[in-house]
């Protein structure tokens, strides 16, 4: 088994970002700032929010976490849109009222939508970029590969399918309700899964020598787990993300990259 270790790649990205932030602060007087609005206590959301803040501290990007409610979040987004000291706004999903997600993320100004979730967002989804970085970092070729994306959610599946389809790749979309999922996945060279269904992907569903990116997150017994069953990791022929440190670290790095770009865009020549 070969690992796609995002943690190993982050160091190089963080070093470059730290230089960019120093230049902004010292030469341009711009102090990159991200505000994350969170409405609930979803374990995965709390974990990733904390990771974003820690990452920001490391490279001097100010990451502010604000707890709010769905009732007033639109007002707060409007205030942040008008605040020139804020370069990025993230609404941490899932919301306590998921049915309002579309309307709420659409309130974020496109130039500050660093998570790439709104209809007019000026940035590609941070998770999509993270997966691209991860695969490129380990020389996994997307062109000419049969790609299966399992899960069509807003954060991973939907934007990934859209971007890869736009790029002309052979990508096919499935979810946990697909009746012939085992057959479909067996034929795939690359599998990206993000359903939040623990253990959905079994060893018998994976073809010989497949590359697997497990971007699923769910809480099981108080522990964050992915979509891939532990038995899959016993196979020696596959290439796969580790249980921790795969896509997550690069998603945080990609998000912060967008914040830095947003800050650069506001800097005076």
What pLDDT, on a 0 to 100 scale, did the predictor assign at position 74?
97
Q: Tell me the CA distances in angstroms from 70 to 87, 92, 98, 100, one per residue in order.
A: 22, 12, 10, 8
Tokens at residue 174, please?
């499935």
Q: Is the Cβ–Cβ distance between 152 and 158 less than 8 Å?
A: yes
- Helix residue ranges per DSSP H, 167-231: 181-186
Cβ atoms within 10 Å, residue 43: 14
Three-state DSSP class for residue 173: strand
- CATH 3.40.50.10860, the chain: domain bounds: 32-123
77 vs 99: CA distance, rounded Å: 18
Tokens at residue 54, please?
């820690």
Q: Is the Cβ–Cβ distance between 258 and 88 less than 8 Å?
A: yes
Is 42 or 34 the better-scoring residue by pLDDT?
34
Q: Identify the band that residue 176 occupies on the pLDDT scale cut at 50, 70 and 90.
A: confident
Q: Identify the band that residue 130 occupies on the pLDDT scale cut at 50, 70 and 90.
A: very high
Length of the chain: 269
- CATH 3.40.50.720, the chain: domain bounds: 126-243
What pLDDT, on a 0 to 100 scale, did the predictor assign at position 47?
84
User: pLDDT tens, 207-253?
Assistant: 999 999 999 988 777 777 899 999 999 999 999 999 989 999 999 99
pLDDT average, residue stretch 138-158:
95
**Angle at CA 205, nearest 5°, toward 204 and 211?**
110
What pLDDT, on a 0 to 100 scale, did the predictor assign at position 1?
85
Output the average pLDDT for the chain.
Answer: 94
Q: Does residue 43 register a pLDDT over 90?
A: no
Distance of CA 237 to the CA centre of its chain: 27
What pLDDT, on a 0 to 100 scale, did the predictor assign at position 154?
87
Least confident of 45-54, 58-67, 101-110, 207-216: 45-54
- Helix residue ranges per DSSP H, the chain: 6-27, 43-59, 73-81, 101-105, 126-137, 157-166, 181-186, 247-266
Q: Does residue 267 register a pLDDT over 90?
A: no
216 vs 198: CA distance, rounded Å: 8
- Looking up tokens 């057959």 gives 183
φ/ψ (deg, to 5) at 89: -130, 130
- Out of 3.40.50.720, 2.60.120.10, 3.90.1150.10, 3.30.70.20, which CATH number does the structure's domain 126-243 have? 3.40.50.720
What pLDDT, on a 0 to 100 scale, did the predictor assign at position 41?
86
pLDDT average, residue stretch 146-157:
94
User: pLDDT tens, 76-86?
Assistant: 999 999 999 99
Q: Is the Cβ–Cβ distance between 136 and 128 less than 8 Å?
A: no
Q: Is 208 exposed, middle or buried (0-12, 13-18, 19+ CB in 10 A)?
A: exposed
Q: Is the Cβ–Cβ distance between 25 and 159 less than 8 Å?
A: no
pLDDT average, residue stretch 160-176:
95
Query: For 143, which DSSP code?
Result: T
Query: For 139, which DSSP code?
Result: T
Tokens at residue 71, please?
């009732």
What pLDDT, on a 0 to 100 scale, did the predictor assign at position 45?
83
Query: What percentage of the chain carries pLDDT values higher than 90?
Result: 86
Query: What percentage of the chain carries pLDDT values higher than 70?
Result: 100
The CATH fold of domain 32-123: Rossmann fold (3.40.50)
């Amino acid at each position: 088994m070969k690992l796609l270790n995002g943690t190993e790649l982050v160091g190089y990205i963080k070093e470059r970002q730290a230089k960019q932030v120093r230049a902004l602060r010292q030469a341009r007087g711009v102090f990159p700032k991200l505000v994350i609005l969170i409405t609930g206590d979803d374990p995965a959301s709390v974990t990733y929010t904390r990771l974003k803040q820690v990452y920001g501290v490391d490279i001097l990007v100010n990451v502010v976490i604000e707890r709010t409610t769905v009732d007033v979040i639109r007002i707060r987004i409007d205030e942040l849109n008008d605040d020139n000291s804020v370069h990025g706004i993230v609404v941490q999903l899932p919301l306590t009222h998921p049915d309002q997600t579309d309307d709420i993320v659409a309130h974020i100004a496109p130039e500050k939508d660093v998570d790439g979730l709104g209809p007019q967002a000026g940035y590609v989804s941070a998770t999509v970029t993270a997966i691209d970085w991860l695969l490129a970092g380990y020389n996994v070729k997307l062109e000419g590969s049969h790609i299966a994306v399992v899960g069509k959610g807003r954060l991973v599946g939907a934007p990934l399918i859209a971007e890869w389809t736009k790029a002309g790749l052979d990508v096919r979309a499935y979810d946990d309700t697909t009746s012939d999922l085992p057959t479909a996945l067996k034929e795939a060279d690359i599998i990206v899964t993000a359903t939040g269904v623990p253990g959905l992907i079994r060893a018998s569903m994976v073809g010989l020598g497949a590359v697997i990116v497990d971007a699923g997150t769910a809480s099981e017994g108080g522990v964050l787990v992915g979509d891939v069953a532990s038995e899959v990791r016993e196979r020696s022929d596959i290439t796969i993300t580790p249980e921790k440190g795969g896509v997550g670290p690069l998603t945080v790095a990609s998000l912060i990259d967008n914040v830095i770009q947003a800050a650069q865009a506001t800097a005076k020549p």
